[in-house]
Amino acid sequence: MKVSKIDHIGIAVKNLEEAVKLYRDFLQLEVTGVEEVPDQRVKVAFIPVGDSEVELLEPTTADSPVEKFIAKRGEGIHHIAFRVDNLEKALEEAKAAGIRLIDESPRPGAGGARIAFLHPKSSGGVLLELCERSD
């Protein structure tokens, strides 16, 4: 598998507007967009930092995976996303290596990305996302 960089770090928050203040006003980072991702039942804010991004995630439904995460563990780091150049191939390789997949095939993610999650039980308790973008 060819991973080129950490694409983003996902942080689960209860309230996007509140959470954004620390990054924008204190860390002086630019919030480049806010978007809803219906497929994942989250609203996200993108905050580029160098070659990667922080992605703040607010749940939009009671059955959102992020809502469940916050209820169980509180706000905090939710996942790490690795950029790959060929997501289908990466998923095949993960499967062949015996890694448990949450998504067997790519799903639409924020910012026009194609994404798939690996199960945290297969990756030391960390939810990992594989992410492919055209840019």
**Residues interacting with ligand CMX, by CB under 6 A?**
10, 37, 40, 42, 57, 65-66, 68-69, 72, 78-79, 102, 109-110, 117, 119-120, 125-127
Q: In the bound complex, what is the minimum distance in angstroms from residue 57's beta carbon to ligand CMX?
A: 6
- Minimum Å gap between C-beta 89 and ligand CMX is 21
Question: Least distance (Å) from ligand CMX to the CB of residue 43?
Answer: 10
Residue where the block lists tokens 């949450």: 102
Q: Which is nearer to ligand CMX, 39 or 85 (CB)?
A: 39
For the CB of residue 25, give the shortest distance to ligand CMX in the complex, in Å: 24
Nearest to 107 by CA among 57, 50, 42: 42
CA 71 to CA 93: how far, in whole Å?
A: 33
Residues near 10 by beta carbon (within 8 Å), at least 6 away in sequence:
55, 57, 77, 78, 79, 80, 81, 129
List for the chain the helix, strand, coil content (%; round to 5). Answer: 25, 40, 35
Nearer to ligand CMX by C-beta: 25 or 112?
Answer: 112
